[in-house]
Chain A
Amino acid sequence: MKITPPRSLNARLLLAIVTSILVALAIGGATIHELFKKRLLDDFDNSLSADLDFHILACDQGDGIVHIAYDTYQELRRQRDPKNPVFAQYRIANGTRDHYRSPNLDEHDLPPVGLGSKTPAYENIVLFNGRPARALGVMFDPVNHDDPPTIRMHVVIAKDLTEVLDYLGKLRSLMYWVAAGLTVLLLVSTSLIVRKNLRPLKLLSQQIGATPVTGGASHFELSGAPAELDPVLERLNTLMDRVEGALERERQFTANAAHELRNPLAGMRSQIELALGSERSPEDYRETLDGLYDIQQGMERVVENLLILARLESGEQSAQKEIVPLTEVLRRGWRKVYDVAEQKELQVRWDIQNPMPALKTSRNLISIIVRNLLDNAVDYSPRRGVINISAHYDRLISSATIRVSNQNTTLSSEDCERMFELFWRGHSGDKAHRHAGLGLGLCRRIVHILNGELKARLIEGGQIVEFICTFPCETLGD
């Protein structure tokens, strides 16, 4: 059966502490008990041994007869002491024949402990009255007045162990009570300490619960909290800063996105209202419809870019590798902007490595980059301008480079970095309505996914702006 630990930290701490205390008390108590027991039994055995010596010395033999003479009255009294009686039994003929037994044994025998042994032997026994006792027996030769000695004797003495065992029992009980008292005391004190020290966590959870997720810099403070909570608090506040930053970026992004959609919506509404406001010629209506179509195209591009950005942020848009014929991707990209380029009488110069190896990279992501770079170049080129498109693959570093350049009319060198910010629209005047400032920022995010780099620079004294997109990839032959 699997034991599930309690979920409460308080309960876990209490359980751990109580378990530790109980184990410590059990081991400590058992050790103390055993030490006491050993000491008591040693003392008891020493006393028994002294008694045995006394009983041996009380014997002598002469004329083939063994005499037992207790020289003190106290010994006899001690034998008969009902509280701590000493039982003794002598056997002669190598212990086979009973010679003497202390009167307190009545007619009962003591077990022949140490019979046949010259060294004293101890044994726990049960007396005839059912009480536990400790017995010591040995074979000995009584002091001899004859020559040669003739009689060997066996003596066994026993003492009631009840008092010692009672004492040990009381000691055990006392230790149990002390352990129980200590456990309760420690439980209460530990519980109070744990509760007191967990209180900051409760306060922290209340603060977290009361913190709105809608924004506003929130920092948590816990006065009097244990030092162990400081790193938690620090990390939590750092996390809150990051969350706040992310929320602010999201708010800004949403506001910018809404702004970029409101402009075309306002444009559509005003054109429709204008057309409906009074009777117009068929040419006017056609012009209005053309205008609306342009606005719709712009909106479609904004929405498409926003969706790609959202997928990139959520990690849905991944760089799935496939065979990408880069030349074809570039040609297809150009085909999409061909009409506008022709209207503006733009000249395009191609410089594609021949043969260009098929790349192993994401066709979808590369297509988005190419489309945005070409779209930008065509839209921001002056009439009859020149656009250069080049693509090369460097086998030494397994890296592909796409360059797109066009004549620059408005950009400064500072703009070359700023233009990758989302919704940055530069100084492009009324051409800006075709661009929401999403494309280049989107391209840079995509290139980062491909572990590459996208940058812009002004060349030829600022007359030309060049976009350089480099990304590592293998080729079909690799």
Chain B
Amino acid sequence: MRILIIEDYGPLRLSIAQRLKEEGYNVDDTADGSEGLWMATENTYSLVLLDLNLPSTHGLDVLRKLREKKPELSVLIATAKDAIQDRVAGLDAGADDYLVKPFSLDELSARVRALVRRTHGQHDPIIRVGDLEIDTRSRNAKRGSDAIDLTAKEYALLELLAHRVGEVVARGDIWEQLYDFNQDVESNVVDVFIAYLRKKTEAGGKPRLIHTRRGQGYVLSDSN
């Protein structure tokens, strides 16, 4: 899952980015509204976290332009503006949620998860694929009664596949959602992580859930 943070206050932006990265999200960030608009337009994000009082371009202008180009993209406004008219203006401009500073990172994290679920049409925080259960609140997974020990990246990959269960997810999409601009990674990193996931989810001889579609990508499904 790839998230864009547009926030001009450096310490806050870096803290949020670090927290989301620790939760396995792929995070890009910028302090500038115009640059943020360009990044959101040119790349595929699951969510944009947007401040309103931005240098160069105001957050609401960024949001309106973004809505014209990407109406389906989830946007969470995180701002110090707490007046009712500011909240109304933000939500009316197309924001999916509104969070007032200072906020708890736990709350931010929960809202991010909820918006990501909603983006994929998933309302239940627990995603079930056969006997595989993925709890998006606690970021844990288990098969049957056996818990699966996953790293943040592995969990993010599994959740990405689970949100699009039954659909083929291209390698490029997986790579884009899992890695940001600043990371240098090997070109076969997706295949490597899929191999790790398969090993952990199929432990004890359990049937395969992650299937390869040659030349297309991967699909999570409890049937072949």
Contacts and interface: CB of A to CB of B under 8 A. Distances in A.
Interface of A: 255, 258-259, 262-271, 273-274, 277-278, 291, 294-295, 425-430, 432-433
Contact of A433 (B10, B22, B81): B10
A273 B104 contact: yes
Contacts of A259: 53, 80-81
A120 B150 CA distance: 146
A425 B104 contact: no
Interface in B99-142: 101-106
B67 interface: no
Interface string B89-106: 000000000000111111
A426 B57 CA distance: 10
A416 B21 CA distance: 40
Contacts of B101: 262-263, 265-266
Contacts of B81: 255, 259
Given A427-B56, A430-B31, A295 B15 contact: no
B76 to A, nearest CB: 14
A294 B80 CA distance: 20
20 contacts: A259-B81, A263-B80, A266-B12, A266-B102, A267-B15, A268-B11, A268-B102, A269-B103, A270-B102, A270-B105, A271-B15, A273-B19, A273-B104, A274-B18, A274-B19, A291-B14, A294-B11, A425-B55, A429-B55, A430-B10
Interface string B15-50: 110110010000000011000000000000000000
A274 B15 contact: yes
B32 A429 contact: yes
Interface of B: 8-16, 18-19, 22, 31-32, 53, 55-56, 80-81, 83, 101-106
Nearest to B86: A255
A374 B208 CA distance: 65
B12 A278 contact: no
B12 to A, nearest CB: 4
Contact of A265 (B13, B15, B32, B102): B102
A159 to B, nearest CB: 100
Contact of A270 (B8, B19, B83): B19
A269 B53 contact: no
A429 B16 CA distance: 17
Contacts of A295: 11
A152 to B, nearest CB: 118
A430 B29 CA distance: 11
B31 A271 contact: no
A432 B55 contact: yes
A295 to B, nearest CB: 6
B9 A267 contact: yes
A401 B188 CA distance: 64
B22 A263 contact: no
A259 B81 CA distance: 7
Contacts of B102: 262, 265-266, 268-270
B103 A432 contact: no
Contact of B12 (A263, A294, A429): A263
Contacts of B55: 425-429, 432
A263 B105 contact: no
Given A429-B32, A432-B31, A274 B105 contact: yes
Contacts of A269: 102-105
A88 B57 CA distance: 122
Nearest to B8: A432
Given A259-B80, A262-B80, A429-B31, A291 B11 contact: yes
Given A271-B15, A273-B106, A274-B105, A266 B9 contact: yes
B32 A263 contact: no
Contacts of A277: 19, 22, 105
A270 B16 contact: yes
A425 B32 CA distance: 12
Nearest to B35: A429
A255 B83 contact: yes
A291 B18 CA distance: 14
Contacts of B106: 273
Contacts of A427: 32, 55-56
Given A270-B105, A295-B11, A425-B8, 5 more contacts: A263-B9, A277-B105, A426-B55, A427-B32, A429-B55
A271 B104 CA distance: 10
A274 B102 CA distance: 14
A269 B19 CA distance: 13
Nearest to B105: A273
Given A265-B101, A269-B102, A274-B18, A433 B53 contact: no
Nearest to A291: B11
A266 B8 CA distance: 12
Nearest to B57: A427
A111 B73 CA distance: 130
Contacts of B19: 270, 273-274, 277
A271 B10 CA distance: 11
